Structure 1
Amino acid sequence: MPPLPAADWAILRQFPPLSISQLAAQRDVVQSYAAEHLVATLVGWTMVYVFMQMFAIPGTVSLSLLSGALFGTLRGLCLVAVVSTLGSCACFTLSRLVGKALAHAVWPDQLKSFKGEVEKRRGDLLNYIIFLRVTPLLPNIFINIASPVVNVPIFPFALGTLVGCLPNNFLAVNAGSKLGELKSFTDLYDAKILLVGCGVGIVAVLPIGLKNLAGRKQQQQQQQQQPPRTADVDSKSD
């Protein structure tokens, strides 16, 4: 990486920022650096994002904000969507290798409940992961670490993460592209975007509900079509 002046390093060392003013100062430093070293900036940003996501280090929301400030809403969203999914998959892989004991030690009850829900939805895991990512039912850190422990395959995990995290990623990237209009981090939570997220969650879980309803109806029809047992016929004739 090309070197940075000491004053700029002092600003970046305050990451993750605790205020919008700190974030704006870091954006200015990264923007000036990217103007001369765009490839190095992209590589460094990507490596930091994946590293933080892989080891569940807080601060990726600030990186998403910086992405919007640097690259705009559309390009920033595409970048964050891909890189955040890579980071989650890296955390998934690390947990599969060494995280089973940690997950059982930290979340014994939650892990048991999560395993039961996964088994019930084994045929609809993609929609279930999307639903979990959109809604705040389970923390993303827990989903990343616990999913391989309860045998969630990597494909529905990755695709569900990519799709389910889009509303939250868009919220952060879009806010980052309008950083000058923000007064605090609470301004990130736009009511319209939250409604979009709820809508995506409902759409994601709808196939699961419809399939369960169809299965119950089919089971009831099969029970109605079964001939009466011999014992029941004899008792009625008596």
Structure 2
Amino acid sequence: MELNIELLKKETEENLNRNKYLLLMLLGSGIFGLFLFIQLAPPLTESERAIIYRLPWTPQEILELSQVLSKYTVTSYWYVFSLFCFFYLFLQSFAIPGPIVLSLISGTLFGRWTGLLIVSICATVGSTICYKLSDNLGKGLVIRWFPNGVVKLNKAISEQKSGLFFYLLFLRIVPLVPNWILNLASPIVGIPLKTFILATLFGLAPPNFIHISTGMALSSIGDTGLSSSSLTVLILLGILILIPPILMRNRNK
């Protein structure tokens, strides 16, 4: 079914400003929550504080962040756990870049399988919150800021109505549509919430596992140097990472 963006703009015009302010209030509440976590943080050295408060852009910076947090996981496990979950949910709920970094360090902090469980739950709950925020408050903003993404997703799922769940599963594993657009646009194009949740939970598990394993391999290299097992893991992960682009290219032919 073709989506009429101009009609949707007219339908959402009346409450656009009110919803914008409500979203800003919710965003501000999340930022205030992060501020409270910072105030309750265990004592940090100046060097540790500098590592934690900067944005990690390189593998080395991500490694340093995981090493500092690992130290505090031993002495303040529940604080690190609560901060990790809150921050992940905050980023995912408001479609803010960064969850992939948290996924990379989660294995080092909590272990591979516990980390996968935590990340899977946080990613699913955060994506669901994003879905509901878009549905109830953000629809007017999404169709104005990202009309092409909404139209692209609508066109894609219109051709897959009979197998919508499996197609959403595919989109989570092979991101033909970016995950943040999928979260924001799904309620607009009529994807049912139950289908969205299940496809998110199971579809994000493989990429999350790859991120966690990559982070653990990098951490192992930082601690002990490049061992044969770490090298093997990185090679296998590199092969897995190449699979989605190959599938995307074959699908486009």
**TM-score, length of structure 1 as denominator length:** 0.74
- Is 1:193 matched with 2:240? yes
Residue aligning to 2:121: 82
Letter in 1 for 2:99: T
| Superposition map of 1:213-224 within 5 A | none
Asked whether the 8 Å contact 2:153–2:177 carries over to 1, the reply is: no
Asked whether the 8 Å contact 1:168–1:197 carries over to 2, the reply is: no
- CA–CA distance in structure 2, aligned partners of residues 113 and 2 of structure 1: 43
CA deviation string 1:40-75 (max 9, x = no partner): 111110000010111111111110111011122222
| Superposition map of 1:132-171 within 5 A | 132-171=171-210
Return closer, same or farther for 1:189/1:150 CA change in 2, 3 Å cut-off. Answer: farther
Letter in 2 for 1:79: I
- Is 1:10 matched with 2:57? no
Residue aligning to 1:108: 147
Residue aligning to 1:63: 102
Give the number of aligned pairs. Answer: 198
Return closer, same or farther for 1:192/1:131 CA change in 2, 3 Å cut-off. Answer: same
Return closer, same or farther for 1:194/1:5 CA change in 2, 3 Å cut-off. Answer: closer
Residue aligning to 1:176: 215
- CA–CA distance in structure 2, aligned partners of residues 152 and 181 of structure 1: 42
Return closer, same or farther for 1:78/1:34 CA change in 2, 3 Å cut-off. Answer: same
- CA–CA distance in structure 2, aligned partners of residues 68 and 52 of structure 1: 19
| Superposition map of 1:25-40 within 5 A | 25-40=64-79
**Range with bigger deviation, 190-199 or 86-95:** 190-199
1:151 alignment partner, SS class:
coil
1:138 CA displacement = 0.6
**TM-score, length of structure 2 as denominator length:** 0.70
Let me know the Cα RMSD of the aligned residues: 2.6
1:113 CA displacement = 3.9
- CA–CA distance in structure 2, aligned partners of residues 188 and 76 of structure 1: 21
1:115 CA displacement = 2.2
Asked whether the 8 Å contact 2:214–2:237 carries over to 1, the reply is: no
Letter in 1 for 2:87: V
- CA–CA distance in structure 2, aligned partners of residues 156 and 45 of structure 1: 27
Return closer, same or farther for 1:175/1:155 CA change in 2, 3 Å cut-off. Answer: same
- Is 1:122 matched with 2:169? no
- CA–CA distance in structure 2, aligned partners of residues 149 and 189 of structure 1: 38
Asked whether the 8 Å contact 1:175–1:188 carries over to 2, the reply is: no
1:4 CA displacement = 3.0
Return closer, same or farther for 1:24/1:116 CA change in 2, 3 Å cut-off. Answer: closer
Residue aligning to 1:225: none
Residue aligning to 1:19: 58
Letter in 2 for 1:41: V
Letter in 2 for 1:155: K
Residue aligning to 1:42: 81
Asked whether the 8 Å contact 2:42–2:76 carries over to 1, the reply is: no
**Range with bigger deviation, 189-198 or 103-112:** 189-198
- CA–CA distance in structure 2, aligned partners of residues 169 and 149 of structure 1: 26
1:99 alignment partner, SS class:
helix
CA deviation string 1:148-175 (max 9, x = no partner): 1112111111110111112210111001
